[in-house]
C-alpha cells in the first residue's frame, strides 16, 4: 500500500529550520517509514514539475519554512497549498517573517543598494540584478522581489503554525508523533488554525528564575550587568528580556543560560500585536512618574523597534515601516 506523501519547502529563510528537522535524530526514520517524501529540495531530488503533476491534495503534510519574499516563493506557496491537505507554516519566517521580515523597515532600493553596491560586496562590474535579462541564448528571468516580506498566511490559507527560530527539535518530534498517531487513528488533529509545537502561555512560565513585583530604574544591556544574578528574573535586573510576551515552548532556553529572551517564538495565544505587548510590559515596570525621568529610563532601550519586532515585524499590525510602504 502506498504511504501518505510528505513535503517540506524552504523559501525566504536561513535554512536553520531544515537543520532543526534533521536534529530530531532517529525520529527522522519514523518520517521515512510512515511517509513518501514527495518533495523536499534539501533532502531528496524532486522537480517542481513533478509536484505540479500531482493531483490536488495528493500531499498529506507540507512543512513550509521561510517567508514570502519574491514571486517564486508566492508561486510555490500557491502550488503547495493546492497539492497539500495540511499546510504547516513552519518556523518563525513562515509564521511571522522573522529576521528577513526586518527588511520591511527599508525600501527595496536601499536593500539592493546595500546588497550589491556597498564596500562589503565584491562586485567589480557593478552588476545589478534584473528580473528579466536578454542574453544571446535568449531571455533569462529571476523572480522579482515583492514590495515587502509577507508571512505564509498572508499569501495562502494555512492549516497550522509552528513557531520558533528554529522550532525546538523536541517539539518537532512531538508534532511528528502526533501526525503518525492520527494516521494510526490513535489521535485527533487539533482544530484548524491552531498553533502546534508550542505552549499556550509565555516563556516566563517555563523560566526557573525567581521573580518579584517589578520596578525598573534603568534598562541595561546584558553585557553591562556584570555579573547578572543567576537566580533572579532578568527583567528585574533591568535587562530587556522579551520572555514575558513570548510564547512558551522553548523551555526558556535563553533565560536558563543567562541570556535574555529575544522573542523567536512570537506572540502568545490570541495576541494581535507582539510588539505592543512588550511596549506595555516594559512601560509597566518603569519606576518613574516624571516625563523626563521616564525618557531617561527609556534611553536604555536604544532600538525599541528592533527590540520588540525582531521576529514579528511582518506579522505586526503595521506589517512594515513607512519607508518600505511609501508609494
Partner 1 sequence: MSETFEPVIIGFTCNWCSYRAADLAGTARMKYAPNVRLIRLMCSGRLDPTFVMKALASGADGVLITGCHPGECHYIEQNYKALRRYLLLRRVLKGMGIAPERVKLVWASAAEGLKLAQEINTFVEEIRALGPLGWNRKLAGNGHALEQPAMEVTA
Partner 2 sequence: MSAESGSKKPRVGVYVCHCGTNISHTVDVEQVREWAEKTLGAEGVVIARDYKFMCSSLGQELIEKDIKELGLERVVVAACSPHLHELTFRGASKRAGLNPYLTELASIREQVSWVHTDKAVATEKAKAVVAGAVERVIKNEPLEEIRVPIHPDTLVVGGGIAGIQAALEIANAGFKVYLVEREPSIGGHMAQFDKTFPTLDCAACILTPRMFEAGTHPNIELLTWSEVTHVAGYVGNFTVTVKKKPRYVNTDLCTGCGICVEKCPKKVVDDVYEAGLGYRKVVYTPFAQAVPKYPVIDAPNCTYFQKGTCKACEKFCPTNAIDFTQKEEYVTIQVGNIILATGYDLFDARRVSNYGYGRLANVFTSIEFERMSNAAGPTGGNIVLRDGKTQPKTVGIIHCVGSRDKNYNNYCSSICCMQSLKFAHLVKERTGATVYEFYIDMRTPMKAYDEFYQRVLEEGTLFVRGKVAQVTNAARNEREEGKLIIQVEDTLAGKQRRIPVDMVILSIGMEPRHDAKETSHLFGVGCSSDGWFIEKHPKLDPVSTMTEGVMIAGCATGPKDIPASVAQGAAAAARVLNKIMQKEVVLEPIKASIDQEKCSGCRICNGLCPFNAILFHEDRMVSEINPALCQGCGTCVAACPAGAISGTGFSNEQILAQIDGLLMDVNLAV
Q: How far is the CB of 148 from partner 1 (least distance, A)?
A: 8
Q: Which is nearer to partner 2, 121 or 284 (CB)?
A: 284
What is the C-alpha separation between 252 and 324, in angstroms, rounded?
Answer: 34
Q: Which helix (H) or strand (E) holds 196?
A: none
H-helix or E-strand containing 253? Answer: helix 253-256
Determine how many CB atoms are found less than 10 A away from the CB of residue 167.
29
Say whether residue 326 binds partner 2 (CB under 8 A).
no
Residue ranges in 267-326 assigned as alpha helix (H): 274-285, 291-298, 304-309, 322-325
Q: Mention every residue, 6+ apart, whose C-beta is less than 8 A from residue 201.
A: 247, 248, 268
Residue choice 25, 124, 136, 270 for contact with partner 2 (CB under 8 A): 270
Residue 145 interacts with which of partner 2, partner 1, none, CB < 5 to 8 Å by class: partner 1
Cell digits of residue 221 = 544591556
Q: Which of residues 119-148 bind partner 1 (CB under 8 A)?
A: 144-148
- Binding at 257: pick from partner 1, partner 2, none (beta carbon under 5-8 Å per type): none
Is 281 a binder of partner 2 (CB under 8 A)?
A: yes
Q: Is the Cβ–Cβ distance between 268 and 245 less than 8 Å?
A: yes
Q: Which of 91, 66, 77 lies closest to 13 in space, CA to CA? A: 66
Three-state SS sequence of 39-65: ECCCCCCCCHHHHHHCCCCCEEEEEEE
Give residues 247-266 in contact with partner 2 (rule: CB under 8 A).
248
Residues contacting partner 2: total by CB under 8 A: 29
Minimum CB separation of residue 245 from partner 2 in Å reads 4
Binds 205, which of partner 2, partner 1, none (CB < 5 to 8 A, cut-off by type)? partner 2
Q: Which positions touch partner 2 (CB under 8 A)?
A: 200-205, 211-215, 233, 235, 243-245, 248, 267-272, 277-278, 280-281, 284-285
Q: Which positions touch partner 1 (CB under 8 A)?
A: 74, 105, 107-110, 144-148, 150, 272-273, 275-277, 279-280, 282-284, 286, 288-289, 291, 294-295, 298, 301, 303-306, 308, 316-327
Amino acid at each position: 500500500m502506498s504511504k501518505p506523501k510528505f513535503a517540506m519547502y524552504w523559501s525566504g529563510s536561513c535554512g536553520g529550520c531544515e537543520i532543526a528537522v534533521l536534529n530530531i535524530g532517529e525520529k527522522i526514520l519514523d518520517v521515512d517509514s510512515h511517509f513518501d517524501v514527495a518533495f523536499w529540495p534539501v533532502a531528496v531530488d524532486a522537480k517542481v514539475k513533478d509536484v505540479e503533476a500531482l493531483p490536488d491534495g495528493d500531499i498529506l503534510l507540507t512543512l513550509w519554512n521561510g517567508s514570502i519574499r519574491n514571486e517564486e516563493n508566492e508561486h510555490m506557496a500557491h502550488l503547495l497549498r493546492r497539492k497539500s491537505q495540511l499546510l504547516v507554516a513552519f518556523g518563525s519566517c513562515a509564521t511571522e517573517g522573522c529576521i528577513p521580515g526586518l527588511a520591511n523597515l527599508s525600501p527595496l532600493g536601499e536593500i539592493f543598494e546595500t546588497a550589491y553596491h556597498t564596500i562589503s560586496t565584491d562586485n567589480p562590474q557593478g552588476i545589478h540584478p534584473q528580473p528579466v535579462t536578454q542574453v544571446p541564448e535568449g531571455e533569462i528571468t529571476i523572480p522579482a522581489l515583492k514590495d515587502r516580506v509577507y508571512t505564509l498566511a498572508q499569501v495562502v490559507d494555512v492549516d497550522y503554525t509552528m513557531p520558533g527560530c528554529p522550532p525546538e527539535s523536541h517539539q518537532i518530534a512531538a508534532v511528528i508523533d502526533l501526525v503518525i498517531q492520527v494516521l494510526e487513528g490513535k489521535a485527533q488533529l487539533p482544530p484548524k488554525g491552531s498553533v502546534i509545537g508550542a505552549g499556550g502561555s509565555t516563556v516566563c512560565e517555563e523560566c526557573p528564575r525567581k521573580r518579584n513585583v517589578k520596578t525598573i530604574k534603568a534598562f541595561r544591556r546584558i553585557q553591562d550587568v556584570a555579573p547578572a544574578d543567576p537566580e533572579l528574573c532578568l527583567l528585574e535586573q533591568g535587562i530587556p528580556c522579551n520572555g514575558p510576551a513570548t510564547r512558551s515552548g522553548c523551555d526558556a532556553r535563553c533565560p536558563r543560560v543567562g541570556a535574555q529572551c529575544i522573542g523567536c517564538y512570537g506572540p502568545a495565544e490570541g495576541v494581535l500585536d507582539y510588539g505592543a505587548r512588550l511596549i506595555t510590559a516594559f512601560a509597566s515596570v518603569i519606576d518613574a512618574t516624571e516625563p523626563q525621568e521616564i525618557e531617561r529610563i527609556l534611553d536604555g532601550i536604544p532600538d525599541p523597534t528592533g527590540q520588540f519586532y525582531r521576529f514579528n515585524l511582518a506579522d505586526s499590525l503595521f506589517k512594515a515601516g513607512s519607508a518600505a510602504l511609501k508609494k
